[in-house]
Amino acid sequence: MKYKGNEKGYALVIVLLLVVLVMGISVAFISGSLNNAKQEKTVDLSNQSVAAAEMGILYYSTDFERSLDLIKQEVLNQTRLELDKIVACLYSSNKTACDTSAERKAWEQNIDLQMKRLYVEKILVKVNELIKINGVPTEPFTSTQTKYTPETWKLMNVTYTDNELRLLSNVLIDRIVSKGKLEVEMEVKGTSLSSPKTLNSLFTVTIPTSFLNPGEVYNVDQEIISGNENATYQDIFKLTPPTQSCDTLLASVIANTAIAPYECKMTGDEKLSAFIAKVTAAGKNPVDFWVHVDDFQKNVCTSNCNSIDFLGTNVVVKASDTGATSNMNNLVNGNLIISGTLTTEQNMNNLGKNMSKQTIVLKEMNVGGNIKNLYYTNLMVLGNDAGSDSRLYVGGQFQIDNYSRLCMDIDRIRQADLDRLASTIEVTNSGMIIYYSAVPEKTFKLTGLDAEKRTALFVKRNINYATFLENCGISIKSTQTVPISSPIVVDTNFDFEVDY
């Protein structure tokens, strides 16, 4: 038997080389994979840190804007209380601070400036609260290592010292008011494990040009109005309408032979719009005219009853004329007097949305649905001629909102309805309830949460019937009134941007 001995171990060498080559390639791949995994982990952590910082920015910006809404309402309420001081001056025996238009205007301008300062001051209080939590981390999710931390809060568009900000310096407040806006920079650090990322955010708050609305006034004190005439319930709801035509009345008004109130009867195919045009062309004020109509749709409406502009004319319709009540949503800048009861099981929502003032006068109201979003509308319920059981009932929600007033003669209204109203009505923003009573001991007060505070802010009593009517949009004569501006409803005008 022969053995070959000349292979010399080549097979083993080849196998070893292949093993080394495979291991080298494997190590390269494993190293690359590990590096990629490490890079991806780093990117993920960075992205998570950015997301955490963004969560912090969103949280603090939302909190800041919510605080601005609360501050806006506080300043609105305070503006109302400050304006009430002018009203109190006019009602007092000593009017030395408010007996001239110039004095009242200067007083209102001072109130406006003080409210701007108060607005800025309350914002700075919020900024100081946020400064105190600098460096305090928040973990938005439990059992994670992701968190966000406010790092820096500072004012950007004014120069100031830390003491001026901390002590709410008047100099700093006036500096911001003069700028017309406040810019606040916030830095938030987001962290995921140990990888931080900081984002900068700039909050901008615009200071309103005015906290008063001189176009929306509260008329005060009949005693100092020239040509004062005490209006009565019978002046509103006359048993017998006038027989004088509107053209005849206007001619006597132009000749200065007419006696206020200026009342006329519109019949046939006569149109209110044509009469208003004649009144304005003669340089007279449509507010001083009371026009009794036989048919609302025929005498008042044109092709339809939408967007009719009365220019303040008082239009009196019969209780049996359903055309008026079915078109109440369309009133623009007019006074509509209905000598009867408004009864409906439907809602009466969004009255006054066109931002023109309208006045609706009723004897009674029995609404089964809601009255919501009442804007720029005076709703008067004066009751029936005799007794104290007239209805003022709203079965659903009853909301009095921007520049709207519910006016009522509580001596003629059922007490049970007044009690229900006191507990259910919602008055917000610049809404107001005005009531009249000839009985000094009789009052109307809201009930429920913060009843005393809400009553002081939103409920006003008039002891003079003529003043009561004037403040609710009804004028029966040519007069000069004493207007006090109303608080304006202020938007927060808040914006922010994030710097990555």
- Residue 270 sits in the same domain as residue 367: yes
Comparing 56-65, 312-321, 431-440, the range with the smallest average pLDDT is: 312-321
In this model, does residue 221 exceed pLDDT 60? no
In this model, does residue 279 exceed pLDDT 80? yes
Sign, Cα dihedral of 228, 229, 232, 238:
negative
193 in a structural domain? yes
- Residue 241 sits in the same domain as residue 200: no
* Average pLDDT, integer, range 164-174: 93
- Residue 202 sits in the same domain as residue 234: no
pLDDT tens for residues 100-120? 778 888 998 999 999 999 999
2 in a structural domain? no
**pLDDT range class, residue 375, cuts 50, 70, 90:** confident
CA pair distance 205, 183, nearest whole angstrom: 6
- Residue 152 sits in the same domain as residue 256: no
In this model, does residue 83 exceed pLDDT 70? yes
In this model, does residue 328 exceed pLDDT 70? no
How many domains are contained in the chain? 2
> With left for phi above 0 and alpha for psi between -120 and 50, is residue 448 left, alpha or beta?
left
- Residue 139 sits in the same domain as residue 170: yes
Regarding pTM above 0.85, the answer is no
> With left for phi above 0 and alpha for psi between -120 and 50, is residue 168 left, alpha or beta?
left
CA–CA distances in Å: residue 144 to residues 55, 133, 148, 191, 379: 15, 21, 12, 11, 57
Q: What is the pLDDT of residue 260?
A: 72
* Average pLDDT, integer, range 386-409: 91
270 in a structural domain? yes
- Residue 67 sits in the same domain as residue 199: yes
- Residue 208 sits in the same domain as residue 223: no
- Residue 72 sits in the same domain as residue 205: yes
Amino acid at 225: I
Buried b (16+ CB within 10 A) or exposed e, 19-43: eeeeeeeeeeeeeeeeeeeeeeeee
29 in a structural domain? no
- Residue 264 sits in the same domain as residue 362: yes
Residue 205: its H or E element: strand 195-206
22 in a structural domain? no
Structural domain including 389 reads 218-485
Question: Higher-confidence residue: 424 or 375?
Answer: 424
pLDDT tens for residues 1-41? 555 555 556 677 676 777 767 777 766 666 655 555 455 44
Q: What is the DSSP letter of 245?
A: B
Asked if 415 and 387 touch (Cβ cutoff 8 Å), the reply is: no
Q: What is the pLDDT of residue 9?
A: 64
- Residue 227 sits in the same domain as residue 328: yes
353-361, Cβ contacts within 8 angstroms, sequence gap of 24 or more: 354/307, 356/309, 356/332, 357/216, 357/333, 357/403, 357/473, 358/331, 358/332, 358/333, 358/334, 359/334, 359/335, 359/472, 359/473, 359/474, 360/328, 360/331, 360/336, 361/236, 361/335, 361/336, 361/337, 361/474
Q: Look at residue 287 and give its three-state secondary structure.
A: helix
What is the residue-averaged pLDDT of the chain?
Answer: 80
**pLDDT range class, residue 223, cuts 50, 70, 90:** very low
- Residue 324 sits in the same domain as residue 226: yes
- Residue 324 sits in the same domain as residue 429: yes
Q: What is the pLDDT of residue 441?
A: 92
84 in a structural domain? yes
**pLDDT range class, residue 48, cuts 50, 70, 90:** confident
Which residue is associated with the tokens 């019969």?
318
**pLDDT range class, residue 480, cuts 50, 70, 90:** very low
234 in a structural domain? yes
17 in a structural domain? no
Share of the chain above pLDDT 70, in %: 77
